[in-house]
Structure 1
Amino acid sequence: MKARSFFAVFLPLLAGALAALPARADSPPDTTFVRERHRRPVFQIDQRFSIINGKVAGINGLRGGIEWRGRWRAGLGFYRLSGGLRTRQPLPEGLPAGTRDEVRFRYVAGYGEYVFIGNRRWELSAPLQVGVGYYYTRFFLPNGDSQRSGRKVLYLVEPSVAAHYRIFRWVGIGAGTGYRQVFASGQQPEDQISGYIFFARAKLFLGDLYKVVRGHERLLNPDWGSDE
């Protein structure tokens, strides 16, 4: 399935599912988005999963940024591929039989995100990441030594759709899906790094957490969205 047709099918389904969630009688309607007056810092643990070389691989990520008026977000993220993923490349000459090889992939990405529907509790957004990174192969020899290949610079673009739910004012959880397209200025990687991505997030709203620390807000207030 092409990325364009994937989003054409997934986006209406996700929007319809969120719109169908039951609304509390004392909460604002789900179709009413509440704007925030001030900029606020946002920090995310952004755990991603991707299909690389036909296998599901984890990509650990951290990102932080600024939110404007509850609609726009921008910032910077750092990501690294978890270990244990075998490559598709033949072993270089000179390495002994029994050598194990694994892909290594790291990158830094700037992101922008637009929230197009939601309220104080939940939202549906369209994040876009553009980044640069490198990948190489780590070789583990039978005698316990290790070697690595030269690094290759890669560029990537990751459009996606995401949703999150704020459990309390200062913390929320979210998930989403998208597609990673990788480009190389030189030789293309033999490993299949481009592909669909799936991610889960734990979001900290640092401005609201600061209010809790200062005692201006309650730490655990499940009804915070209904009294404003």
Structure 2
Amino acid sequence: MTALRGILLGVLGGGWLTTAAAAGPLPPDSSRVRQSHRRLVFQFDQRYSVLNGSVVGINGLKVGVEFRGRVRTGLGLYLLSDGVPTDVALPAHLPAGTRDELRFRYVAAYGEYVVKGTPRWELSTPTQLGIGRYYARYEKPDGEVERTPRRLIYMFEPSVAGHVRVFRWVGLGAGGGYRQMLFMNNALESELNGPIFFGRVKLFLGDLYKIVRGRQRLFSQQGL
């Protein structure tokens, strides 16, 4: 009986090993890093906010360093492309019919962690901590413009982002988050707080350079 049990276990064990060998190696873990070195990264970062019922665009440029394909950190510069309509009461000296809006610009330190990623796609959590200046702009009915002195603003902006590569050198990305102003009076804070969202075409210039230099096919799925 003991000998029969040994034979059965040997047959089953041999069959399991043969099946595992035939199946080949397990697919790579998509959470593993792709690069083993640091590299410089930069990005034109256009995003939008819904502020006081209006969609407002913000244009920015980010420059930083990527570590092992997993962590990115650096600085960004952002300029408000549109004025933010405000519900704050006008100063007493301004006439009725005056148009008012807020404008701001800021620099931000950012960190981004790639939660999950493959050569084809990735999901990351960009977070920014910024400091800048804002002012109110008033346009009177006769066309005269008046501006308030610039004041400091601070902000915290967590978000989630992802992209999918169509080819090695180009992809489509989208994401969203929230902008929270810090250390401001409640009225102005509520004017500038709000959700953010973005959709973009991403160019991977490093991979494009490698493809051109290596005379590889431009519209190929190789490497994805």
Distance 2:72 2:122 in 1: 13
Write the letter of the residue equivalent to 2:178: Y
Go from structure 1 to structure 2 and tell me whether the alpha carbon gap of 1:64 and 1:166 turns closer, same or farther (over 3 Å shift): farther
Secondary structure of 1:116's counterpart equals: strand
Are 2:224 and 1:220 equivalent residues in the alignment?
no
**Unaligned segments of structure 2, at least 5 residues:** 1-26
- 1:110-150 per-position Cα deviation (integer Å, ceiling 9, x unaligned): 11111121200100111111111122111112222211112
Alignment of 1:1-20 (within 5 A): none
Distance 2:170 2:71 in 1: 18
The structural deviation recorded for 1:219 is: 6.7
**2:121: which partner in 1?**
122
Write the letter of the residue equivalent to 2:195: Y
Are 2:206 and 1:207 equivalent residues in the alignment?
yes
Go from structure 1 to structure 2 and tell me whether the alpha carbon gap of 1:195 and 1:217 turns closer, same or farther (over 3 Å shift): farther
**1:8: which partner in 2?**
none
Write the letter of the residue equivalent to 1:220: L
Distance 1:171 1:38 in 2: 22
Contact 1:41 1:207 in 2 (8 A): no
**1:22: which partner in 2?**
none
Are 2:39 and 1:45 equivalent residues in the alignment?
no
Are 2:123 and 1:107 equivalent residues in the alignment?
no
The structural deviation recorded for 1:203 is: 3.1
Write the letter of the residue equivalent to 1:36: Q
- 1:20-77 per-position Cα deviation (integer Å, ceiling 9, x unaligned): xxxxxxxx66845452123222222222122212333222222122212111111111
Identical aligned residues as a percent: 57
Contact 2:83 2:103 in 1 (8 A): no
Are 2:171 and 1:172 equivalent residues in the alignment?
yes
Q: What is the TM-score when the length of structure 2 is the normalising length? A: 0.77
- 1:150-187 per-position Cα deviation (integer Å, ceiling 9, x unaligned): 22211111111111112332333311111211112x64
Alignment of 1:68-217 (within 5 A): 68-184=67-183, 187-190=185-188, 191-212=190-211, 215-217=213-215
**Unaligned segments of structure 1, at least 5 residues:** 1-27
Go from structure 1 to structure 2 and tell me whether the alpha carbon gap of 1:155 and 1:114 turns closer, same or farther (over 3 Å shift): same
Write the letter of the residue equivalent to 1:135: Y
Distance 1:139 1:95 in 2: 9
Distance 2:64 2:204 in 1: 10
Go from structure 1 to structure 2 and tell me whether the alpha carbon gap of 1:43 and 1:168 turns closer, same or farther (over 3 Å shift): farther
Between Structure 1 and Structure 2, whose CA radius of gyration is higher?
2
**CA RMSD, 1 decimal:** 2.3
Q: What is the TM-score when the length of structure 1 is the normalising length? A: 0.76
Contact 1:123 1:163 in 2 (8 A): yes
Contact 2:58 2:82 in 1 (8 A): no
Secondary structure of 1:89's counterpart equals: coil
